[in-house]
Structure 1
Amino acid sequence: MKFFRVYIFPAFYGLLIYFTIRLLHDIEIESLFWKRDWGLNAFEMFCSISVGYLGIYLFRWLFRYCDRRWPLQLNYWTVARELLIISVANQLVVNLVFTPMAAFTDDGLSWADAIDINVIPALYAVIYYGIARSSTWLKAYIDNKVLLEKVTNDHLETELKFLKAQYHPHFMFNALNTIYFQMDEDIQGAKKSIETFSELLRYQLYDQQQQVPVIQEIGYLQSFIELQKIRSTDKLILKVDFDQHLNSQLVYPLLFLPLVENAFKFIGGNYQLSVSATIDDEYIIFNVKNAIPENLGAARTNGIGLENLKRRLNLLYPGKHVLSLIQDHDQFMATLKLTYAQ
């Protein structure tokens, strides 16, 4: 294949240009070129083959030059620039050989000859360019797509790490504040709270782009709820119910936490709070329902934690989640449905 491309194809290319020009010329003057002197035809075909070799080798050299000179980027300007260079080089080669050949044969150089000599080789040069550079532009297109995906993934990873970092200061402040006041009344309880806090903190070090079994997330939430109960009022009426079928299903970590954290933060009224999670064939369904003071207003649905959660869900579960936040007088209900992986 390489032998044909290097040594045979340029001759076919030159002859194709010659026969196309000759046929068009003969149609115009109502002549048959094969009835001419075969010595003259052989000379013209030899010149055409020379144009084929010279043109193809020049094109390939220009391709290598363009690749070295400019970065390989697929865009209209790059293609137009290369086509212009190839077209100018092609016209120089063609006119260097074909114009004198037409001028000193038959009835000399006419306007029709000049048009055929300049238009037909230009069209074939454009076709050759499209075929010869197709693999190069396909590679450039793939490389650009890969680079774009890498940049996008890097951006998303950076954003996810930033969103993850936003949880830590608020969580640590509340936990340490709880332990601080607990030490005045219950040293042993404070020690236990520190152990729970360290386990929670260790869990938060998970890479947020790596999925974990949902049972780990549930264990984390149970520890978090136990720590929150310490700083909650005695009026708290808490109900926790996790489906026993929740086990090895994979989810991204710390997506349920903001809903539970906000429930404890805004609880009021009759201080009823329920946390539950169930599973069906497609979704893990997480529900948090808590009583709130009647004069709380709409701020409950627009906190930083919930905005953070919405953004992370859009990044991690695009089109594969449903988040519902409903505030009704003295009650707030949050439901998160996640498509899970086995």
Structure 2
Amino acid sequence: MNASKRKYLPQWLVHTFLWCAVFGLIVYPFFLESRSIPFNIVVKWVMAVAIFYFNYYYLVPNFLLRDKMKTYIGISIVLLFAVSYGLHNIFPPEMPKSFAPLVERMKERREARAPFRFSLMPVVSFAVPYIFAIMLRVYTELQRNENLRKTVEKEKVQSELQFLKTQLNPHFLFNSLNTIYSLSVKKSPHTSEAIINLSELMRYMIYEADKDLVPLDKEIEYIKSYVALQRLRLADSENVFLKISGDDSNKIIPSLLFISFIENAFKYGTDYQGKTMVKINLLVQEKSIQLYVINKIGKQRVKSENSGVGLQNVKNRLNFLYPNSHFLEIEDDGENYEVNLILNL
């Protein structure tokens, strides 16, 4: 199920709007008092923008985010003090003409001081956008890494699910071929029908089951075809029941999710005399699907290393696809084997 893509404004447009807003707040008092905008304010604003993006695109990625903390701090201190000192002396603050006597006294005091006269206020004014650049870049990198982690995790889950499905398909094909083989040995007239039935099953597996999600009604048709194929194989199929109830339209589920439980029931629900007892009940409700399968355990049940491969696979798939939204209960009392699965849609 693909999430709808959200539309965001381009990053450059957002940054342009913010910087224009900041500049507007700075020059607003001058417009309010009908004064001309001092040239030094425009220059310092441009320099603040330049420092911000130099820090954002170069210093933070190449030093701070690469664990070169001491180098980054050293470069930052030198940069802030150098820019602040240079601009403060090249473009000193402009004062209104009414402040002329005060300006003259300040000049006299500055001339009486050492040549390296300086105030910390310009450093603070440039440090604010500088620190904001750090915060924004670190947050952006954390967000990007989190998105990358989720993407890698999703791809890992998808690859694991695909691997489980590739394990399931050959397992199912092997069992189906055994069914047709048993019919051919018996020279059953239903052999050709079974081959056609298997071809329909394989068509579904090739063209539909490779999708992540399939319509529920197609999956149900697949189950019906499988049960029909098993009935052809069995000598006694009177106790094979398949009941499907509910509205299966407009619902989608992961492909091949139920077949392992049904396949397992037929595999172990037949004794050495060919007598079988398998009951399958699939109930489709508005917000849930319930699968109930019960089979009589055959007396001559043979366990092998590969037995239960399909069941383990479908358990893993359920944990991946329906975490905390499914219920699976399996009971084996030695005589009956019951599976009760509920999916919350």
Normalising by structure 2, what TM-score? 0.68
Partner of 2:83: 93
State the secondary structure of the residue aligned to 2:190: helix
Q: 1:261 aligns with which of 260, 263, 281?
A: 263
Greater helix content: 1
Q: 2:231 aligns with which of 224, 229, 232?
A: 229
State the secondary structure of the residue aligned to 2:256: coil
Does the CA-based 8 Å contact 2:84-2:123 persist in structure 1?
no
Supply the distance in 1 between the matched residues of 2:45 and 2:291 (Cα, whole angstroms): 72
Supply the distance in 2 between the matched residues of 1:104 and 1:47 (Cα, whole angstroms): 24
Percent of paired sites with the same residue: 25
Structure 1 unpaired stretches of 5+: 14-45
How far the C-alpha of 1:196 sits from its partner, in A, is 0.8
Check 1:65–1:214 CA distance in 2 against 1; reply closer, same or farther (3 A cut): closer
Partner of 1:173: 174
State the secondary structure of the residue aligned to 2:290: strand
Partner of 1:335: 340
* 1:96-127 deviation digits (Å, cap 9, x = unpaired): 56699999727636xxx87x63xx55544342
Check 1:245–1:299 CA distance in 2 against 1; reply closer, same or farther (3 A cut): farther
Supply the distance in 1 between the matched residues of 2:169 and 2:209 (Cα, whole angstroms): 14
Q: 2:54 aligns with which of 55, 62, 73?
A: 62
Supply the distance in 2 between the matched residues of 1:183 and 1:63 (Cα, whole angstroms): 77
* 1:266-321 deviation digits (Å, cap 9, x = unpaired): 22567421111113342111100011157979999x93222211111122222322
Supply the distance in 2 between the matched residues of 1:121 and 1:298 (Cα, whole angstroms): 81
Supply the distance in 1 between the matched residues of 2:213 and 2:172 (Cα, whole angstroms): 21
Moved more, 49-58 or 194-203: 49-58
Partner of 1:213: 215
Check 1:62–1:204 CA distance in 2 against 1; reply closer, same or farther (3 A cut): same
Check 1:126–1:231 CA distance in 2 against 1; reply closer, same or farther (3 A cut): farther
Kindly report the root-mean-square deviation, in angstroms, between the aligned alpha carbons of the 2 structures: 4.6
How far the C-alpha of 1:64 sits from its partner, in A, is 7.0
State the secondary structure of the residue aligned to 2:291: strand
Moved more, 208-217 or 160-169: 208-217
State the secondary structure of the residue aligned to 1:234: coil
Supply the distance in 2 between the matched residues of 1:229 and 1:77 (Cα, whole angstroms): 68
Structure 2 unpaired stretches of 5+: 1-14, 28-37, 93-106
State the secondary structure of the residue aligned to 2:257: coil
Code of the residue aligned with 2:48 in structure 1: it is I
Does the CA-based 8 Å contact 2:280-2:294 persist in structure 1?
yes
Supply the distance in 1 between the matched residues of 2:304 and 2:151 (Cα, whole angstroms): 37
Partner of 1:286: 291
Supply the distance in 1 between the matched residues of 2:64 and 2:313 (Cα, whole angstroms): 37
Does the CA-based 8 Å contact 1:51-1:94 persist in structure 2?
no
Q: 1:325 aligns with which of 311, 321, 330?
A: 330
Code of the residue aligned with 1:284 in structure 2: it is I
Normalising by structure 1, what TM-score? 0.68
Check 1:218–1:58 CA distance in 2 against 1; reply closer, same or farther (3 A cut): closer
Is residue 2:195 matched to residue 1:194?
Answer: yes
Code of the residue aligned with 1:266 in structure 2: it is Y
Check 1:64–1:215 CA distance in 2 against 1; reply closer, same or farther (3 A cut): closer
How far the C-alpha of 1:263 sits from its partner, in A, is 0.9
How many residues align? The count is 300
Supply the distance in 1 between the matched residues of 2:317 and 2:154 (Cα, whole angstroms): 14
